[in-house]
Structure 1
Amino acid sequence: MSTASDVMSAPPFSGTAFIAPNLVTSADPTAFVALVDKGLGSRMVFDRRVNAYVTMDMFLYDATYADGDVIEFQVNPEFGDAAASREPAAFYAPILGRMPAVLRRHLAYTWIHRGDQPFGGTPFDGEHPAVLIHTGSLAQSYINQGVLEEILIHEATHAVLDVRVRDTPAWLAAQAADGEFISTYARDNPTSEDVAESFVPYLAVCCGQDRVPAATRDTIAATIPARLRAFDALLLDVRPLQDPAVLFRDGFDF
């Protein structure tokens, strides 16, 4: 018996966080302003090394941004004293200042641990979306490949947009209209990965004209046009990538 997945075209990408390494780079401006030390405090955080939430004392730092956003960085004391623990927070806080404002605005926490584990993003308790960072070999590989910013955008999308988008009639209708997935990762995890896997491609099309190859943008526009329209209809604030007033793409008729 055939299924819908049997008649779909093979997705053009395996995972979309890797398809546009120049979409956001370390040379881009950041909205980051300052990092304020808050000392030790007890927090519940997720740690992939034990695959569980744990409550522990963390070094706390408030990262402030030019648009008034504040994200609390919670750093595992395994990095050392307050000065040593501040270093990974100081590294990642400006990077979050380069991601679309709609993601940063709703992030409450950033959890940072050592370890060779993937990043993550979660709505957490529904009111305090969080991004998870492990600073080991995988993080270094993201840096080496030039996709650190795009990985963080993907994970922040999980934290902020998933619960607001994935089960809405508009998104479900867009999935049905497209009839395809942008990546094998989205196809194999349609309820948990499709929004995050589609958002970086959306940014590549609407904001990456000078940074993402035309062939890549053409492939995205041909594969998930309805999903792109669904994101457009949300009128998301994607600054500093591009001013919302000029979000609508030139050269793509969908």
Structure 2
Amino acid sequence: MNTKFLFTAVLMLCLNNQSYSQNSNYIYENGTLWHTGFYNILKSSDESVLDNTSYKSEEIALMWDRLANNGNGAWVEPLSWIYTINYKDNISAEMRIRQSDYTKTEADQAVERYKDYLGRLPYVLRNGIKLINIMKGNANFGGNNWNNSIDIYEGDLSERIIKDGNIEEMLLHEGAHSALDYLYNEDWITERNKDTKFVSKYAFDNPNREDISETFAVWLALRNVDNRLSTEDYNKVTQGLSYRIAYLNSLNFDINPIVGNTLSTESFKYEENLLFPNPVKNQINLINIDAKAYVIYNFLGVKVLEGVIKNNRVIPFDSFNTGLYFIKLDNNKKIKFIKE
């Protein structure tokens, strides 16, 4: 069979199968990259903090070629065109373009093609991406945390995602691999185990490889000051991933040039046994407190309710969505609770 035809057929199947999952373990049937509701996490109209690019030299560059070794992948050391990309917030990266695939003029054009896409990524990713490798091939992009690299393969897939407008989301996903995969630790796993779902089947099938990249993308959409998710997607994500999203909030990532909403759930110790039941169903019953007033925030740090504590110490809460919430009291006590 023609391998190019087979690749294109599989790709089209993924692109056209974007349904919500009926599986109780995850929200979306495919990876977040293929859900059209996530195509505008970053937009072409968003600010890019690209400063400049410059050609440096010809050098041997270590890069992962997932098509080498009969499709099993291998580390290769091709002679490459080397460029430097500088951003306005004083960070930079090295772009390496495989000479066997590109002339010098074509390499210049490839740098031009991707520089602004890269400039729209949040600081926390750009600061963690040190190497950007570009080569020809019909393959998904890749990202490696150990050497902080991303791999861009130019072929049918890259042409399609540029045309469809989710190239920034592809770079966002692989950039999270490059910059954030170190977060697979006990804290992440603890919060993940509290959540009810994975964001996608891809994350569910590969929990210790894809969960952070898949979750970070939707977290960034939620953190944007103009929330980039539909109401349906917002509700599904916030109800299924509330603990992991709250954990990412607690890390206080710099997301420049993206303008984020203000977080009010800053890191602090939470008191236990100050309310019941927990999880909450219809009302919050406060106990063992001497506070007079309260403010409640959702896990994104957005204030959802405030008021004076009544004599019965009951706060009605039946009209709110399921998920993770935080109460701040005027006596400096803080309480974390779940709404069922």
TM-score with structure 1 length normalisation? 0.89
Q: Which runs of 4+ in 1 moved over 6 A?
A: none
Counting helix residues as a fraction of each chain, which structure ranks higher?
A: 1
1:222 aligns with 2:230: no
CA contact (8 A) 1:204 1:217 kept: no
Distance in 2 (alpha carbons) for counterparts of 1:224 and 1:95: 27
Distance in 1 (alpha carbons) for counterparts of 2:31 and 2:301: 23
1:35 aligns with 2:53: yes
Structure 1 residues 23-102: aligned runs within 5 Å: 23-50=41-68, 51-102=73-124
More moved, 208-217 vs 228-237: 208-217
CA contact (8 A) 2:26 2:198 kept: yes
User: For 1:104, which of 126, 131, 139 is the aligned residue?
Assistant: 126
Distance in 1 (alpha carbons) for counterparts of 2:88 and 2:197: 39
User: For 2:34, which of 18, 24, 32 is the aligned residue?
Assistant: 18
Partner of residue 178, structure 1: 195
State the Cα deviation string for residues 214-233 of structure 1 (Å, max 9, x = none): 21111100001000011011
- Residue 153 of structure 1: how far off its partner (Å): 0.5
| AA in 2 matched with 1:102 | V
CA contact (8 A) 2:54 2:85 kept: yes
Distance in 1 (alpha carbons) for counterparts of 2:155 and 2:139: 7
Partner of residue 268, structure 2: none
| AA in 2 matched with 1:18 | W
Distance in 1 (alpha carbons) for counterparts of 2:172 and 2:181: 12
Unaligned segments of structure 2, at least 5 residues: 1-22, 265-299, 305-320, 326-340
- Residue 106 of structure 1: how far off its partner (Å): 1.5
| AA in 2 matched with 1:83 | T
TM-score with structure 2 length normalisation? 0.67
- Residue 79 of structure 1: how far off its partner (Å): 4.0
More moved, 131-140 vs 16-25: 16-25
Partner of residue 156, structure 1: 175
CA contact (8 A) 1:64 1:70 kept: yes
CA contact (8 A) 1:205 1:220 kept: no
| AA in 2 matched with 1:173 | T
1:129 aligns with 2:151: no
CA contact (8 A) 2:32 2:214 kept: yes
Judged with a 3 Å threshold, the aligned counterparts in structure 2 of structure 1 residues 135 and 249 are, in CA distance, closer, same or farther, namely farther
- Residue 49 of structure 1: how far off its partner (Å): 1.7
Distance in 1 (alpha carbons) for counterparts of 2:184 and 2:164: 29
CA contact (8 A) 2:195 2:243 kept: yes
| AA in 1 matched with 2:152 | I
Partner of residue 119, structure 1: 141
- Residue 204 of structure 1: how far off its partner (Å): 1.7
Greater Rg by CA: 2
> How many residues end up aligned between the 2 structures?
242
Which fold has the larger relative contact order, with Cα–Cα distance below 8 Å and residues 6 or more apart in sequence?
Answer: 1
- Residue 186 of structure 1: how far off its partner (Å): 0.6
CA contact (8 A) 1:78 1:114 kept: no
- Residue 145 of structure 1: how far off its partner (Å): 2.4
Distance in 2 (alpha carbons) for counterparts of 1:138 and 1:207: 27
Distance in 1 (alpha carbons) for counterparts of 2:169 and 2:107: 24
Unaligned segments of structure 1, at least 5 residues: 1-7
Q: Secondary structure at the match of 2:109?
A: helix
| AA in 2 matched with 1:33 | D
Counting strand residues as a fraction of each chain, which structure ranks higher?
A: 2
Distance in 2 (alpha carbons) for counterparts of 1:10 and 1:113: 36
CA contact (8 A) 1:102 1:237 kept: yes
1:201 aligns with 2:212: no
- Residue 210 of structure 1: how far off its partner (Å): 4.5
Q: Secondary structure at the match of 1:176?
A: helix
- Residue 100 of structure 1: how far off its partner (Å): 0.9
Distance in 1 (alpha carbons) for counterparts of 2:188 and 2:240: 15
Q: Secondary structure at the match of 2:83?
A: strand
| AA in 2 matched with 1:193 | E
